[in-house]
């Protein structure tokens, strides 16, 4: 009979062999990936920034990894429908999803019956790019600065626009309203363009929107930029002070777009994708196009992206709670 020690040695040896076999299999799997086209689900309609960035990234990955990366637009329910479909896909690396401020950061707090959890049901791969939100005012509102807005809000009724209830635009203003201790009336619209039209006419005084959506109106004088919701001034609007430097330290709200895979995707596949994405973001044509979209490339690791998503969940959950922006 074998002694207890011999049994332990045999058991450990067996476990080690199994682990080595699994590691070898995973390594081979990662080296072979991809062997067929990869689908990137975009949970929004064609033509939006998420879609444009997905197609840009897909082209670069197709070149570097030798297989087609095909964009599959699945819009609906604030991006939740397409994201939920991705969560239920096979975790083999052949279905990816564009992860955004809305779908991974805000929706878990806005939709009580959301069919997915951004961290439980996905393996984050990389944050692709950031663009801070900007507080803009109608020239007809006669607001020259953030200080003017706060002072006026304490004595007058001010309406602010957003492209919809529970959006980053809406919730960022709620965060600011709380930080400034003022009352502002929310007027939701069906999109940023409709909301901006009301600002141009002077019917609405202010709103938050991502830099890509307001850069041209600011440059042309149709909108007045009061502050940038980022830790540092934006390279796209360097003359506009941050909200933090105007008396609200730590105030930050950025739009972001990343990419993720269904949970339990093999680690070597995730590593292959993360390295290929980091390389893609360094390509001159990618940098040029992202600059045109007013996005700052990131290209971080899965660990850092996961931590970032957790922090975003906590921040937006607070804003949702204060605003009551729930969607049945």
With cut-offs at 50, 70 and 90, classify the pLDDT of residue 23.
Answer: very low
d(CA 213, CA 196): 9
**Residues 308, 162: one domain?**
no
d(CA 291, CA 235): 10
What is the average per-residue pLDDT within 240-259? 96
Whether the per-residue pLDDT at 16 is higher than 50: the answer is no
Structure confidence at residue 193 (pLDDT): 87
Whether the per-residue pLDDT at 4 is higher than 50: the answer is no
Residue 213 lies in a domain: yes
**Residues 185, 238: one domain?**
yes
Structure confidence at residue 2 (pLDDT): 41
What percent of the chain is predicted at pLDDT more than 70?
A: 89
Structure confidence at residue 12 (pLDDT): 33
**Residues 139, 229: one domain?**
yes
Residue 13 lies in a domain: no
Give the end of a domain, one of 220, 246, 272.
Answer: 246
**Residues 281, 219: one domain?**
no
Residue 7 lies in a domain: no
> What are the angstrom distances between the C-alpha of 225 and each of 33, 34, 129, 229?
47, 45, 22, 11
Residue 16 lies in a domain: no
pLDDT tens digits, residue range 202-226?
999 999 999 998 999 999 999 999 9
Give the end of a domain, one of 221, 246, 271.
Answer: 246
Q: Which element (helix H / strand E) includes 16?
A: helix 4-32
d(CA 87, CA 155): 48
Residue 44 lies in a domain: yes
Residue 163 falls in which region: left (phi positive, over 0), alpha (psi -120 to 50) or beta: alpha
With cut-offs at 50, 70 and 90, classify the pLDDT of residue 20.
Answer: very low
- Of 161, 154, 137, give the one whose Cα is nearest residue 227: 137
d(CA 254, CA 102): 11
The CATH code of the domain that includes 293 is 3.40.190.150
Domain count for the chain, please give it: 2
Whether the per-residue pLDDT at 142 is higher than 80: the answer is yes
Q: For residue 148, what are the domain limits?
A: 132-246
Residue 14 lies in a domain: no
Residue 21 lies in a domain: no
Structure confidence at residue 191 (pLDDT): 84
Contact 291, 210 (CB under 8 A): no
The CATH code of the domain that includes 144 is 3.40.190.10
d(CA 5, CA 14): 14
Structure confidence at residue 22 (pLDDT): 35
Q: What angle do CA 205, 219, 50 make, to 5 degrees?
A: 85
Residue 1 lies in a domain: no
DSSP code at position 247: T
What is the average per-residue pLDDT within 246-273? 96
Structure confidence at residue 171 (pLDDT): 94
Record the tokens describing residue 216, joined without a space: 């041209």
Q: What angle do CA 84, 162, 117 make, to 5 degrees?
A: 20
Can you tell me whether residue 174 is helix, strand or coil? helix
What is the average per-residue pLDDT within 285-295? 93
Whether the per-residue pLDDT at 198 is higher than 80: the answer is yes
């Amino acid at each position: 009979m074998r002694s207890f020690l011999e049994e332990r040695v045999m058991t450990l040896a067996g476990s080690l062999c199994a682990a080595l076999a699994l590691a070898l299999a995973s390594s081979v799997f990662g080296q072979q990936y991809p062997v067929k086209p990869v689908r990137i689900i975009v949970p929004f309609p064609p033509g939006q920034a998420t879609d444009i960035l997905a197609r840009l990234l897909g082209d670069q990955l197709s070149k570097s990894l030798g297989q087609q990366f095909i964009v599959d637009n699945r819009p609906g329910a604030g991006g939740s429908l397409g994201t939920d479909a991705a969560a239920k896909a096979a975790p083999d690396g052949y279905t990816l999803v564009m992860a955004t401020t809305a779908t991974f950061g805000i929706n878990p707090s806005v939709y009580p019956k959301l069919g997915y959890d951004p961290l439980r049901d996905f393996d984050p791969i990389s944050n692709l790019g950031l663009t801070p939100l900007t507080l803009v005012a109608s020239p007809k509102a006669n607001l020259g600065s953030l200080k003017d807005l706060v002072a006026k809000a304490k004595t007058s009724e001010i309406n602010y626009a957003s492209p919809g209830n529970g959006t980053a635009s809406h919730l960022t203003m709620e965060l600011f309203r709380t930080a400034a201790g003022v009352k502002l009336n929310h007027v939701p619209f069906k999109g940023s363009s409709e909301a901006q039209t009301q600002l141009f006419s002077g019917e609405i005084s202010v709103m938050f929107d991502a830099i890509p959506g307001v850069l041209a109106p600011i440059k042309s004088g149709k909108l007045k930029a009061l502050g940038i919701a980022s830790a540092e001034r934006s390279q796209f609007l360097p003359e506009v002070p941050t909200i933090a430097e105007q008396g609200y330290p730590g105030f930050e709200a950025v739009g972001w777009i990343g990419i993720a895979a269904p949970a339990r995707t093999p680690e070597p596949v995730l590593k292959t994708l993360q390295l290929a994405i980091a390389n893609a973001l360094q390509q001159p044509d990618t940098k040029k196009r992202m600059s045109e979209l007013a996005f700052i490339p990131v290209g971080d690791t899965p660990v850092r992206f996961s931590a970032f998503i957790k922090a975003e969940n906590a921040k937006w959950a607070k804003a949702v709670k204060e605003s009551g922006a729930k969607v049945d």
